[in-house]
Amino acid sequence: MFKKFIINCDEATTICDKSQYKEASFSELVKLNWHILTCKICNLYSKQNRKMTSLFKMKSLDCKNQTNCMSKEDKEILKKQIEELKL
């Protein structure tokens, strides 16, 4: 019965990426969640992916009305935030 839910890490990362853009189906999300329960690496990937998506969404909202919004200071701050995700 559970063989239907078993996926490898490559499939899990693909579904994780799709889920960030609301493109994953319900069955794919179930498989992903089952995989994340058993795989620490994919669990970490999923957390980092969500965090990076939220960082970029916040930055895109700030930049909406500007044509060239990434100053050197902004780039450095973003680099530091990304480094913090690497644990």
Kindly report the length of the chain: 87
Question: pLDDT tens digit string along 49-71?
Answer: 989 888 888 877 777 766 666 78
> Contact at 8 Å (CB) between 36 and 68?
no
**How confident is the model at residue 4, as a pLDDT?**
76
**How confident is the model at residue 54, as a pLDDT?**
87
DSSP character string of 19-35: HHTT---HHHHHHHHHH
> Contact at 8 Å (CB) between 12 and 42?
yes
Q: At what angle do helices 40-63 and 9-20 cross, to 10 degrees?
A: 20
- Where the chain has pLDDT below 70, the residues are 1-2, 65-69, 87
> Contact at 8 Å (CB) between 82 and 75?
no
Is pTM beyond 0.75 here?
no
**How confident is the model at residue 67, as a pLDDT?**
65
**How confident is the model at residue 44, as a pLDDT?**
94
